Amino acid sequence: MAFFEKKEDGYLLRVRLTPNSSLVKANGVMADAKGEEFLKINVISVPEKGKANKELLDFLSKKLDIAKSFIEIVSGQTDRYKKIKIKNDGDLTKKLEGLKNECASD
C-alpha cells in the first residue's frame, strides 16, 4: 500500500508530520501498526496556531507544483498523522513517487 491513493477528484495523502526540525523535507516512508504507509515530512515551524500545518501545505504546494487552494488537511489537524486531500484532475503519481524517491537519495 502506498502513502497516497488516487480518488475521483484527486488524491488522498497520508503524512506523518515532524515539527521543530532543522529543515523542511520529505524524510522517507513509514508504516503504522495497521500497515498503512505515511510519508514522513519534517518542518521547521512549531505546532502552535497551525504554523506547522501551514508550512506542510506550503511544502507540498511547491513540491507538487499546485496551488495551495487545491490542498487541504481533511483529518489530523492537531495530530502528527494527517490525511491530506489534493484536488487535481491531472496525474500527480510521478510527482508523489518523486517525493518518496527524493528521500531515498538523501
Q: So what's the pLDDT on residue 6?
A: 92
Q: Is residue 98 in some structural domain?
A: no
Q: Is residue 100 in some structural domain?
A: no
Range of weakest confidence among 23-27, 35-39, 45-49, 98-102: 98-102
CATH at 50:
3.30.1200.10
And the C-alpha cell for 61? 504546494
Domain of residue 45, residue span = 4-90
What is the radius of gyration, based on Cα positions, of the chain?
13
Report percent pLDDT > 70 for the chain.
Answer: 95
Q: Is residue 57 in some structural domain?
A: yes
Distances from the Cα of 78 to the Cα of 67, 69, 90, angstroms: 23, 20, 29
Q: So what's the pLDDT on residue 104?
A: 58
Residue 89: strand, helix, or coil: coil
Q: Is residue 96 in some structural domain?
A: no
88 close to 10: Cβ distance less than 8 angstroms: yes
Report how many domains make up the chain: 1
Q: Is residue 102 in some structural domain?
A: no
Does the global pTM surpass 0.95?
no
Q: Is residue 97 in some structural domain?
A: no
pLDDT tens digits, one per residue of 52-97: 999 999 999 999 999 999 999 999 999 999 999 999 878 888 888 8
